[in-house]
Structure formats: structure tokens, C-alpha cells
Amino acid sequence: MTMGYIVLQNLRRNRLRTALTLVAFALPMGVFVLAISLLAALIEIGNMNERELRLGVHHKVTLINLLPDAMRRKIEALDPERKRLTAVCGMRWFGGKIPEEPAPIQSLAADADTFPIVYSDAGMTPEDIEAWNKDRQAAVVGYGVIEQYKQKYPDFKLGGRVSLKSSVPPYLELEFHIVKVIEKANRAQTFYFRRDYLTESLKEAGVDSPKCNIFWVKCNGADELRELQTAIDQEFSNSADETKSEDENAFAASFTQALGNLPGLMNAMAIVVLVIVGLVAGNTMMMSFRERTRELGVFKAMGFPPIRIFTIVLSESVMLAAIGAIIGIAPVWIGLTFYPLPKLGVLPIASLKASPAAAYISLIIAIAIGAAAGFWPAYQAMRLRTVDALRRVA
């Protein structure tokens, strides 16, 4: 009679209870793996952004205020030898939407010459860069945008021609040619195109405004980024266009708050879920311990050493937790693999995808919770006095 056999037999004896516990354990574990998958995805995006060492320079009052594009030269002039910065890319918000759709796509006009350098994480090959440079209407589009629209609008694909109407005055409608699809999660939801195309089109519409909302400065290192952050804001202080410089993650944090702080909520959710599954497992183990006190007494009378009794009860709890976790994690995993959420297109949920790390962590945490929940009943079982146990009536 092996350990595993005893544990399995115990779980099979009160099948109803085992089933109920498994469901009560599996459902919150499903929520847990979802929550931490999202957190993992966001942390990954944060790390990616941090590695890219980009400093965003925008107007101090609000991002909406436009900065003159001559500012790019001034920023570059702060470091003529390019010791601290690699390149500067000016960007202007276009907020283009497919005319039939309600929500605008995150679309930005970027300086054509520096975009491939500052956004080297877009992964543009020399051929991509050539296509981008040659074609005035070139657009580099995140996979999230493609996923979201490709079914309804088949032109959303590599090489497709799409037309977007700006949601900011003068509401230009421009045609673009998708020359590259970005596969990186941190750029999944953005649609980039050339700023010279926008500036010329604006001019044709009678608006002579070669201006930017933000300049992204690619820095050579983390220290250089901090130095430049101070230097740039100092350079433009007391001018008509005072700036505020932030690294990419600080820039994103203000938006995260305004989008309901989903990461914070998921964090809280994950903690509550852990409490719940811990209690579910603990409850079941207490119940089955109580009902089996006499049986454990028999084991003891037969000469099972206390540590063995301890292990039997603990293993049962751990096994219950592990099975429950797998039942909860697997469907979420399969669901995320076959239905990637970028189709929903809402940030930051869209960055959610099946992450092996999240699944492993969930499983390990579940097992740890099973062990913690089984500890007290197991300890009590070990300490049981054989005579008392045999005398006890359930």
C-alpha cells in the first residue's frame, strides 16, 4: 500500500466533496492565472520599454499642446557629439479612425528619418526601412491593430492600403500603405506613418503647422537618460514652450491610472483569489480530517509513524490543490492560445496572451497554498493520541 494509493483512495472516497472542492478551487485559479498573465504581460512591456531607453519630451501643460518641430534640432544640439542620445523622433497625434468605426486607432505621424532608429524595437529590416523611406504613404502597424480589424476590413494586412480619417481638426482623411507589421507586444496597438506626409497634407488643406505633440529621444544609457531629462527641461524652461520629459514607463503610468488602473485591480484580485482558494482547501481538509479522525487513529494503532500520518494528510491537500489548479488553468490557457485578446482591441487587456511563466507560477502557488492549507489538519493528525482518536465519534 503506497502513499499515493492511500491519498488517491482518500480523495475518491467522498467523491462529491472532492468534486465540489475542485470546482471551488479551479474557478478562482482560472481568474488568478488570467490576472497574473495580464500583470506578466504588462511587466514584460514595461521591461521592454525600459530597455529601449526612450525619453518623451512633451509640453508641460498638456500633451495636447503642440511643440514647434524646430525643437528637435535644439534637443539634438544639446549633444552634438551624440554621446548621450542616439536620435530624436518627433511625433504628432493623428487619431485616425476607419470612417465606419466609432473608436480611433492610436495613430501617430513620426519623423521618417529617425523612426527606424528610435523605434528599433519595431524590428524593421533594411528592406522594410527602404520601403518606408521610398513610400510617402508608408505605415508601420502593430499586430494588435491588424488582429482587431482584419476580419472586417481585409485591407488591414501587410501590403494593404487603408484609409483613416483623423479625429482632430482639420479631420483629414489620408490613405496609407502598410509596409510593416510590428510583432512586439509593447507596440502592438499603434499605427505609425510618416510625418512629412501629414505636414504636406495639412498644408494642402490650408493648415501650415509642422508641429509635434511629443519628441521621443533615444538615449545611450540609463544615466544619460536621466541627465538628458534634466538638461532638456532646463533648456526650455522660461520659454513659451516649457517641456516635461518622462521616460516611457512614467509616461504610460498616467494613462494607466486614467484607464481605471487595471494592473492595480488585477493585483488586488489575485490576492483575494489566493485567500479564497486557501480557505476552500483549508475548509475541505478540516472537514475530511474531522470525519476521518478514527481512521487516522487506526493507522496510528497499526504503527504508522506520526510523520507518515502528517505526510498522508498534507499530500492529500497538495494533490487536491494541484488537480484543482490544473483544471482551472488549462481552459484559460487553451482559450488564450486560440482566441488572442488583441481582437478586443482595448488597452491594456489586449496585451494579454497565454504566458507559460504565469501558468507555472499559478501552479506552484496553488501547490504552496494546498500545502499551507493542509498543514494545520496534518499537524493535528500527527499529534493525535491514538486512544482519543479511536474513541472519537464523527
Partner 1 sequence: MALPLTYNWKNLFVRKSTTVLTCLIIASVVGVLTWLVGFKSSLDRSLSFANDRAKIIVLKQGSTSETNSAIAPEDANKLTQLQSLAVDAKGEPLKSPEMVVQVSLPRKRDNGVTFANVAVRGVTDTAFAVHPNIRLLSRPFAQGQLEVIVGVQAAKQFGGLEVGDVVQLGYGGNRGFTVVGHFSANGAPVESEIWGPLTVLMSSYSRTAYSSVSLRLRDGVDAKAVVAEIEGPAIEMTGKTESDYWTEQTSNIRIYMMIVGVLVGIMSIAAIFAIANTMYASVAGRTREIAMLRTIGFTPNQVLLGFLYESVFLSLIGGVLGLLACAAWLSLAGNTKDMFGSNTFTTMGFEIRLGPAIVVKALGAVAAVGLLGALFPAWRASKLQVIKAMREA
State the burial class of residue 235 (Cβ atoms within 10 Å of its Cβ: 0-12, 13-18, 19+). middle
Contact (Cβ atoms closer than 8 angstroms) between residue 316 and residue 14: no
Q: Which residue has the cell 509635434?
A: 212
Helix (H, G, I), strand (E, B) or coil at 392: coil
Among 48, 322, 349, 354, binds partner 1 (CB under 8 A): 349
Among 8, 63, 131, 322, binds partner 1 (CB under 8 A): 63
Query: What mask, x for binding partner 1 by CB under 8 A, covers residues 308 to 347?
Result: ------------------------------------x-x-
- Name the one range near partner 1 by CB under 8 A: 79-87, 219-227, 253-261, 359-367: 253-261
Based on CB atoms, which residue is closest to partner 1, 1 or 258?
A: 258
Grid cell at residue 1: 500500500
Q: Which of 62, 130, 118 is nearest to 90 (CA)?
A: 118
State the burial class of residue 320 (Cβ atoms within 10 Å of its Cβ: 0-12, 13-18, 19+). buried
Cα end-to-end span (Å), the chain: 25
Residues 200 to 239 in contact with partner 1, rule: CB under 8 A: 239
Q: What are phi and psi of 2, to 5 degrees?
A: -85, 165
Render the burial of 276-306: b for 16+ CB within 10 Å, e for the rest.
Answer: bbbebbbebbeebbeebbeebbebbeeebee
Among 24, 39, 108, 145, binds partner 1 (CB under 8 A): 24
Helix (H, G, I), strand (E, B) or coil at 88: strand
In the beta sheet, which residues pair with residue 82? none
**CB of 80: closest distance to partner 1 in angstroms?**
27
**CA distance linking residue 283 with residue 331, whole number of Å:** 25
Q: Which of 33, 1, 9, 25 is nearest to 324 (CA)?
A: 25
Residues 80 to 99 in contact with partner 1, rule: CB under 8 A: 95
**CB of 220: closest distance to partner 1 in angstroms?**
27
Contact (Cβ atoms closer than 8 angstroms) between residue 192 and residue 144: no
Residues 176 to 205 in contact with partner 1, rule: CB under 8 A: none
**CB of 134: closest distance to partner 1 in angstroms?**
32
- Name the one range near partner 1 by CB under 8 A: 22-30, 122-130, 183-191, 297-305: 22-30
Does position 169 interact with partner 1 (CB under 8 A)? The reply is yes
**CA distance linking residue 194 with residue 257, whole number of Å:** 30
Among 33, 34, 108, 225, binds partner 1 (CB under 8 A): 34
Among 9, 230, 234, 283, binds partner 1 (CB under 8 A): 283
Does position 21 interact with partner 1 (CB under 8 A)? The reply is yes
> Directed axis angle between helix 356-383 and helix 15-52, to 10°?
140
Does position 71 interact with partner 1 (CB under 8 A)? The reply is no
Contact (Cβ atoms closer than 8 angstroms) between residue 205 and residue 170: yes
**CB of 124: closest distance to partner 1 in angstroms?**
29
Among 4, 159, 260, 331, binds partner 1 (CB under 8 A): 260
**CA distance linking residue 6 with residue 10, whole number of Å:** 6
Among 272, 326, 368, 390, binds partner 1 (CB under 8 A): 272
Does position 374 interact with partner 1 (CB under 8 A)? The reply is no
In the beta sheet, which residues pair with residue 108? 93, 192
Based on CB atoms, which residue is closest to partner 1, 52 or 246?
A: 246
Among 275, 298, 357, 387, binds partner 1 (CB under 8 A): 275
Secondary element (H or E) of residue 72: helix 71-77
Contact (Cβ atoms closer than 8 angstroms) between residue 102 and residue 170: no
Does position 116 interact with partner 1 (CB under 8 A)? The reply is no
Based on CB atoms, which residue is closest to partner 1, 20 or 298?
A: 20
DSSP state, 244?
E
Among 7, 35, 109, 179, binds partner 1 (CB under 8 A): 35
Residues that bind partner 1 (CB under 8 A): 16-17, 20-21, 23-28, 30-31, 34-35, 59-65, 95, 102-104, 165, 167-169, 171, 239-242, 244, 253-262, 265, 268-269, 272-273, 275-276, 279-280, 282-284, 286-287, 290-291, 344, 346, 349, 394
